[in-house]
Structure 1
Protein backbone atom coordinates (compact mmCIF):
# COMPACT_ATOMS: atom_id res chain seq x y z
CA UNK A 1 0.00 0.00 0.00
CA UNK A 2 1.27 3.44 -0.90
CA UNK A 3 1.54 6.25 1.62
CA UNK A 4 0.00 8.85 -0.74
CA UNK A 5 -2.70 8.73 -3.40
CA UNK A 6 -2.41 10.28 -6.88
CA UNK A 7 -3.19 13.78 -5.56
CA UNK A 8 -0.41 13.47 -2.92
CA UNK A 9 -2.94 13.05 -0.08
CA UNK A 10 -2.36 10.52 2.67
CA UNK A 11 -4.12 7.21 2.22
CA UNK A 12 -6.85 6.41 4.77
CA UNK A 13 -4.94 4.12 7.15
CA UNK A 14 -2.04 6.58 7.34
CA UNK A 15 -4.47 9.45 7.96
CA UNK A 16 -5.62 7.70 11.12
CA UNK A 17 -2.04 7.27 12.31
CA UNK A 18 -1.15 10.92 11.64
CA UNK A 19 -4.38 12.08 13.35
CA UNK A 20 -3.57 10.00 16.43
CA UNK A 21 -0.01 11.35 16.50
CA UNK A 22 -1.30 14.92 16.08
CA UNK A 23 -3.67 14.46 19.02
CA UNK A 24 -0.86 13.05 21.18
CA UNK A 25 1.42 15.92 20.18
CA UNK A 26 -1.29 18.48 20.95
CA UNK A 27 -1.57 16.98 24.44
CA UNK A 28 2.22 17.18 24.79
CA UNK A 29 2.15 20.86 23.75
CA UNK A 30 -0.51 21.54 26.38
CA UNK A 31 1.58 19.82 29.05
CA UNK A 32 4.75 21.68 28.02
CA UNK A 33 3.09 25.07 27.77
CA UNK A 34 0.38 25.13 30.42
CA UNK A 35 1.75 23.33 33.47
CA UNK A 36 3.48 25.43 36.13
CA UNK A 37 7.05 26.24 35.16
CA UNK A 38 8.21 25.12 38.60
CA UNK A 39 7.52 21.43 37.89
CA UNK A 40 10.17 21.29 35.16
CA UNK A 41 13.76 20.61 36.17
CA UNK A 42 16.14 23.46 35.46
CA UNK A 43 19.85 23.25 34.93
CA UNK A 44 20.35 26.75 36.27
CA UNK A 45 18.47 29.96 36.57
CA UNK A 46 18.90 31.88 33.34
CA UNK A 47 17.87 35.52 33.54
CA UNK A 48 16.76 36.75 30.14
CA UNK A 49 17.32 40.48 29.67
CA UNK A 50 14.31 42.61 28.75
CA UNK A 51 11.87 40.97 31.16
CA UNK A 52 8.99 43.22 32.23
CA UNK A 53 6.57 42.62 35.10
CA UNK A 54 2.93 43.70 35.08
CA UNK A 55 1.75 42.52 38.47
CA UNK A 56 1.89 38.71 38.32
CA UNK A 57 2.20 38.70 34.54
CA UNK A 58 5.73 38.52 33.21
CA UNK A 59 6.40 39.46 29.61
CA UNK A 60 9.16 40.06 27.11
CA UNK A 61 7.60 42.41 24.60
CA UNK A 62 10.73 43.34 22.64
CA UNK A 63 10.87 41.61 19.25
CA UNK A 64 14.19 39.81 18.71
CA UNK A 65 14.93 40.34 22.39
CA UNK A 66 18.09 38.22 22.38
CA UNK A 67 19.62 40.35 19.64
CA UNK A 68 18.44 43.65 21.14
CA UNK A 69 19.81 42.81 24.59
CA UNK A 70 22.77 40.72 23.43
CA UNK A 71 25.28 42.78 25.42
CA UNK A 72 23.30 42.28 28.65
CA UNK A 73 23.48 38.48 28.61
CA UNK A 74 25.80 37.68 31.53
CA UNK A 75 27.56 34.56 30.23
CA UNK A 76 28.03 32.25 27.26
CA UNK A 77 26.11 29.55 29.14
CA UNK A 78 23.12 31.90 29.51
CA UNK A 79 23.40 32.84 25.82
CA UNK A 80 23.46 29.14 24.89
CA UNK A 81 20.28 28.42 26.89
CA UNK A 82 18.49 31.48 25.49
CA UNK A 83 19.35 30.47 21.91
CA UNK A 84 18.37 26.86 22.65
CA UNK A 85 14.98 28.07 23.92
CA UNK A 86 14.43 30.05 20.72
CA UNK A 87 15.36 27.06 18.56
CA UNK A 88 13.04 24.83 20.59
CA UNK A 89 10.23 27.34 20.03
CA UNK A 90 10.79 27.18 16.28
CA UNK A 91 10.08 23.47 16.45
CA UNK A 92 7.22 23.60 18.98
CA UNK A 93 4.45 23.84 16.36
CA UNK A 94 6.42 22.26 13.50
CA UNK A 95 5.14 18.66 13.90
CA UNK A 96 1.55 19.76 14.46
CA UNK A 97 1.45 22.12 11.47
CA UNK A 98 3.12 19.48 9.28
CA UNK A 99 0.46 16.98 10.34
CA UNK A 100 -2.28 19.51 9.58
CA UNK A 101 -0.83 20.07 6.11
CA UNK A 102 -0.86 16.32 5.52
CA UNK A 103 -4.43 15.94 6.80
CA UNK A 104 -6.24 19.12 5.73
CA UNK A 105 -6.01 20.07 2.06
CA UNK A 106 -7.90 23.29 2.80
CA UNK A 107 -4.99 24.82 4.73
CA UNK A 108 -2.22 24.01 2.27
CA UNK A 109 -1.60 27.64 1.39
CA UNK A 110 1.18 29.83 2.74
CA UNK A 111 -1.11 32.57 4.07
CA UNK A 112 -3.40 30.09 5.82
CA UNK A 113 -0.49 28.24 7.46
CA UNK A 114 1.05 31.57 8.50
CA UNK A 115 -2.23 32.68 10.08
CA UNK A 116 -2.95 29.34 11.75
CA UNK A 117 0.59 29.12 13.16
CA UNK A 118 0.42 32.69 14.48
CA UNK A 119 -3.02 32.15 16.03
CA UNK A 120 -1.95 28.89 17.71
CA UNK A 121 1.11 30.65 19.12
CA UNK A 122 -0.95 33.63 20.26
CA UNK A 123 -3.41 31.27 21.96
CA UNK A 124 -0.53 29.55 23.79
CA UNK A 125 1.08 32.82 24.90
CA UNK A 126 -2.23 34.38 25.97
CA UNK A 127 -3.26 31.27 27.89
CA UNK A 128 0.12 31.25 29.64
CA UNK A 129 -0.39 34.89 30.70
CA UNK A 130 -3.90 34.12 31.98
CA UNK A 131 -2.68 31.06 33.89
CA UNK A 132 0.10 33.15 35.40
CA UNK A 133 -2.39 35.81 36.41
CA UNK A 134 -4.82 33.31 37.95
CA UNK A 135 -2.47 30.71 39.42
CA UNK A 136 1.08 32.19 39.35
CA UNK A 137 2.48 29.48 37.05
CA UNK A 138 5.70 31.46 36.46
CA UNK A 139 5.12 31.65 32.71
CA UNK A 140 6.28 34.45 30.42
CA UNK A 141 4.41 36.02 27.50
CA UNK A 142 7.10 36.49 24.84
CA UNK A 143 6.78 38.26 21.52
CA UNK A 144 9.76 36.21 20.30
CA UNK A 145 7.76 33.04 20.97
CA UNK A 146 5.08 34.33 18.61
CA UNK A 147 7.75 34.90 15.98
CA UNK A 148 9.61 31.62 16.46
CA UNK A 149 6.47 29.45 16.74
CA UNK A 150 5.06 31.04 13.60
CA UNK A 151 8.37 30.50 11.81
CA UNK A 152 8.21 26.84 12.81
CA UNK A 153 4.75 26.54 11.27
CA UNK A 154 6.00 28.12 8.04
CA UNK A 155 8.98 25.74 7.96
CA UNK A 156 6.57 22.81 8.40
CA UNK A 157 4.57 24.09 5.43
CA UNK A 158 7.76 24.37 3.35
CA UNK A 159 8.68 20.79 4.27
CA UNK A 160 5.19 19.68 3.23
CA UNK A 161 5.67 21.45 -0.13
CA UNK A 162 9.03 19.71 -0.63
CA UNK A 163 7.48 16.32 0.16
CA UNK A 164 4.54 17.00 -2.18
CA UNK A 165 6.84 18.17 -4.99
CA UNK A 166 8.98 15.05 -4.60
CA UNK A 167 5.89 12.85 -4.76
CA UNK A 168 4.66 14.70 -7.85
CA UNK A 169 8.11 14.46 -9.49
CA UNK A 170 8.47 10.76 -8.77
CA UNK A 171 5.03 10.09 -10.25
CA UNK A 172 5.98 11.89 -13.45
CA UNK A 173 9.05 9.69 -13.79
CA UNK A 174 6.95 6.54 -13.59
Structure 2
Protein backbone atom coordinates (compact mmCIF):
# COMPACT_ATOMS: atom_id res chain seq x y z
CA UNK A 1 0.00 0.00 0.00
CA UNK A 2 2.92 2.33 0.73
CA UNK A 3 3.87 2.42 -2.95
CA UNK A 4 0.45 3.90 -3.81
CA UNK A 5 0.93 6.97 -1.56
CA UNK A 6 2.34 9.22 -4.35
CA UNK A 7 -0.62 8.48 -6.62
CA UNK A 8 -3.09 9.03 -3.77
CA UNK A 9 -1.47 12.41 -3.03
CA UNK A 10 -1.68 13.33 -6.72
CA UNK A 11 -5.31 12.19 -6.76
CA UNK A 12 -6.09 14.58 -3.89
CA UNK A 13 -4.32 17.42 -5.73
CA UNK A 14 -6.25 16.48 -8.89
CA UNK A 15 -9.55 16.63 -6.99
CA UNK A 16 -8.64 20.11 -5.74
CA UNK A 17 -7.82 21.19 -9.31
CA UNK A 18 -11.17 19.81 -10.50
CA UNK A 19 -12.97 21.73 -7.77
CA UNK A 20 -11.20 24.96 -8.78
CA UNK A 21 -11.89 24.32 -12.48
CA UNK A 22 -15.60 24.00 -11.85
CA UNK A 23 -15.55 27.56 -10.49
CA UNK A 24 -13.97 29.10 -13.61
CA UNK A 25 -16.11 31.33 -15.84
CA UNK A 26 -15.73 29.15 -18.93
CA UNK A 27 -18.13 28.69 -21.80
CA UNK A 28 -18.87 26.03 -24.42
CA UNK A 29 -15.80 24.30 -25.78
CA UNK A 30 -13.57 25.85 -23.10
CA UNK A 31 -15.19 23.43 -20.63
CA UNK A 32 -14.18 20.58 -22.89
CA UNK A 33 -10.59 21.87 -22.97
CA UNK A 34 -10.29 22.20 -19.18
CA UNK A 35 -12.03 18.95 -18.28
CA UNK A 36 -10.13 16.94 -20.89
CA UNK A 37 -6.86 18.52 -19.65
CA UNK A 38 -7.70 17.39 -16.13
CA UNK A 39 -8.51 13.88 -17.32
CA UNK A 40 -5.21 13.86 -19.21
CA UNK A 41 -3.28 14.87 -16.07
CA UNK A 42 -4.99 12.07 -14.16
CA UNK A 43 -3.99 9.58 -16.87
CA UNK A 44 -0.37 10.81 -16.78
CA UNK A 45 -0.34 10.50 -12.98
CA UNK A 46 -1.60 6.93 -13.26
CA UNK A 47 0.85 5.99 -16.02
CA UNK A 48 3.89 7.55 -14.37
CA UNK A 49 3.39 7.33 -10.62
CA UNK A 50 1.60 4.09 -9.81
CA UNK A 51 3.59 1.04 -8.71
CA UNK A 52 4.97 -1.21 -11.39
CA UNK A 53 7.42 -4.03 -11.65
CA UNK A 54 10.78 -3.21 -13.16
CA UNK A 55 10.88 -4.49 -16.72
CA UNK A 56 14.40 -5.60 -17.47
CA UNK A 57 13.42 -7.44 -20.65
CA UNK A 58 13.64 -6.01 -24.12
CA UNK A 59 16.52 -3.83 -25.25
CA UNK A 60 19.44 -3.89 -22.88
CA UNK A 61 20.43 -0.65 -21.24
CA UNK A 62 23.09 0.11 -18.71
CA UNK A 63 21.39 1.32 -15.55
CA UNK A 64 23.23 3.02 -12.74
CA UNK A 65 21.75 2.90 -9.28
CA UNK A 66 21.55 6.19 -7.44
CA UNK A 67 20.51 5.66 -3.82
CA UNK A 68 19.02 2.33 -4.93
CA UNK A 69 16.96 3.82 -7.78
CA UNK A 70 17.84 2.54 -11.27
CA UNK A 71 18.75 5.39 -13.62
CA UNK A 72 19.65 5.44 -17.30
CA UNK A 73 21.86 8.48 -17.87
CA UNK A 74 23.14 7.45 -21.30
CA UNK A 75 20.72 8.51 -24.05
CA UNK A 76 19.70 6.33 -27.00
CA UNK A 77 21.21 3.08 -25.73
CA UNK A 78 18.38 1.05 -27.19
CA UNK A 79 15.09 1.85 -28.85
CA UNK A 80 11.98 0.06 -27.64
CA UNK A 81 8.24 0.59 -28.02
CA UNK A 82 8.38 2.59 -24.76
CA UNK A 83 10.62 5.12 -26.48
CA UNK A 84 7.93 5.93 -29.04
CA UNK A 85 5.03 5.59 -26.59
CA UNK A 86 6.59 8.31 -24.44
CA UNK A 87 6.38 10.66 -27.43
CA UNK A 88 2.72 9.75 -27.95
CA UNK A 89 2.02 10.16 -24.23
CA UNK A 90 3.10 13.82 -24.22
CA UNK A 91 1.61 14.97 -27.55
CA UNK A 92 -1.54 16.09 -25.65
CA UNK A 93 0.66 18.17 -23.32
CA UNK A 94 1.86 20.14 -26.34
CA UNK A 95 -1.72 20.57 -27.53
CA UNK A 96 -2.78 21.83 -24.11
CA UNK A 97 0.19 24.21 -23.98
CA UNK A 98 -1.07 25.70 -27.25
CA UNK A 99 -4.64 26.00 -25.96
CA UNK A 100 -3.89 27.19 -22.42
CA UNK A 101 -0.79 29.36 -22.77
CA UNK A 102 -0.20 32.70 -24.41
CA UNK A 103 3.51 31.86 -25.00
CA UNK A 104 3.82 30.33 -28.45
CA UNK A 105 7.45 30.98 -29.28
CA UNK A 106 9.71 27.98 -29.78
CA UNK A 107 11.93 28.56 -26.74
CA UNK A 108 8.99 28.50 -24.29
CA UNK A 109 7.49 25.39 -25.86
CA UNK A 110 10.89 23.68 -25.77
CA UNK A 111 11.43 24.80 -22.17
CA UNK A 112 7.99 23.50 -21.19
CA UNK A 113 8.75 20.12 -22.81
CA UNK A 114 12.12 19.80 -21.09
CA UNK A 115 10.72 20.86 -17.71
CA UNK A 116 7.80 18.45 -18.07
CA UNK A 117 10.16 15.54 -18.77
CA UNK A 118 12.53 16.50 -15.94
CA UNK A 119 9.59 16.94 -13.55
CA UNK A 120 8.18 13.50 -14.34
CA UNK A 121 11.57 11.78 -14.03
CA UNK A 122 12.52 13.64 -10.85
CA UNK A 123 9.18 12.81 -9.27
CA UNK A 124 9.57 9.16 -10.29
CA UNK A 125 13.03 9.15 -8.72
CA UNK A 126 11.72 10.59 -5.45
CA UNK A 127 8.69 8.28 -5.44
CA UNK A 128 10.88 5.24 -5.95
CA UNK A 129 13.38 6.42 -3.35
CA UNK A 130 10.75 7.18 -0.70
CA UNK A 131 7.88 4.81 -1.52
CA UNK A 132 9.42 2.05 -3.67
CA UNK A 133 7.04 2.40 -6.61
CA UNK A 134 9.56 0.44 -8.71
CA UNK A 135 10.02 3.06 -11.41
CA UNK A 136 13.31 3.99 -12.98
CA UNK A 137 14.67 7.27 -14.24
CA UNK A 138 15.57 7.42 -17.93
CA UNK A 139 17.16 10.31 -19.83
CA UNK A 140 15.46 8.98 -22.96
CA UNK A 141 12.11 9.77 -21.32
CA UNK A 142 13.08 13.42 -20.89
CA UNK A 143 14.05 13.57 -24.57
CA UNK A 144 10.92 11.78 -25.80
CA UNK A 145 8.61 13.78 -23.53
CA UNK A 146 10.08 16.97 -24.99
CA UNK A 147 9.64 15.62 -28.51
CA UNK A 148 5.99 14.75 -27.78
CA UNK A 149 5.28 18.26 -26.50
CA UNK A 150 6.84 19.75 -29.63
CA UNK A 151 4.84 17.43 -31.92
CA UNK A 152 1.58 18.28 -30.15
CA UNK A 153 2.22 22.01 -30.14
CA UNK A 154 3.27 22.24 -33.79
CA UNK A 155 0.35 20.03 -34.82
CA UNK A 156 -1.89 22.73 -33.37
CA UNK A 157 0.08 25.46 -35.16
CA UNK A 158 -0.52 23.64 -38.46
CA UNK A 159 -4.20 22.93 -37.69
CA UNK A 160 -4.73 26.61 -36.87
CA UNK A 161 -4.05 27.37 -40.56
CA UNK A 162 -6.82 25.02 -41.73
CA UNK A 163 -10.61 25.13 -41.68
CA UNK A 164 -10.39 24.01 -38.03
CA UNK A 165 -9.06 27.44 -36.96
CA UNK A 166 -12.46 28.65 -35.77
CA UNK A 167 -13.06 25.56 -33.65
CA UNK A 168 -9.54 25.75 -32.20
CA UNK A 169 -10.25 29.35 -31.19
CA UNK A 170 -13.33 28.16 -29.30
CA UNK A 171 -11.20 25.58 -27.44
CA UNK A 172 -8.55 28.15 -26.50
CA UNK A 173 -8.48 29.63 -23.00
CA UNK A 174 -5.00 31.23 -22.61
CA UNK A 175 -5.07 30.32 -18.94
CA UNK A 176 -1.28 30.35 -18.40
CA UNK A 177 0.25 33.82 -18.48
CA UNK A 178 4.05 33.90 -18.38
The alpha-carbon deviation at position 65 of structure 1 amounts to 1.8
CA distance in 1 between partners of 2:128 and 2:30 (Å): 37
TM-score (norm 1): 0.73
Q: In terms of Rg, which structure is larger? A: 1
The alpha-carbon deviation at position 57 of structure 1 amounts to 1.1
Structure 1 gap segments, 5+ residues each? 1-10, 67-81
Pairs within 5 Å for 1:1-174: 12-38=27-53, 45-46=57-58, 48-66=60-78, 82-104=79-101, 106-167=102-163
Instruction: Give the length in aligned residue pairs.
Output: 141
Q: After superposition, what is the alpha-carbon deviation per residue over 1:69-115, rounded to whole angstroms, capped at 9, x for unaligned? A: xxxxxxxxxxxxx52100110112111220221232x1222211111
Moved more, 44-53 or 12-21: 44-53
Q: Is contact 2:86-2:144 (8 Å) kept? A: yes
CA distance in 2 between partners of 1:168 and 1:25 (Å): 22
CA distance in 2 between partners of 1:169 and 1:91 (Å): 23
Q: Is contact 1:110-1:157 (8 Å) kept? A: no
TM-score (norm 2): 0.71
The alpha-carbon deviation at position 168 of structure 1 amounts to 8.6
The alpha-carbon deviation at position 167 of structure 1 amounts to 4.1
CA distance in 1 between partners of 2:132 and 2:45 (Å): 17
Q: Over the residues paired in the alignment, what is the CA RMSD in angstroms?
A: 2.4
Moved more, 44-53 or 29-38: 44-53
Structure 2 vs 1, CA of residues 12 and 107 (structure 1 numbering), >3 Å: closer, same or farther? farther
CA distance in 1 between partners of 2:165 and 2:64 (Å): 51
CA distance in 2 between partners of 1:48 and 1:25 (Å): 31
The alpha-carbon deviation at position 169 of structure 1 amounts to 8.6
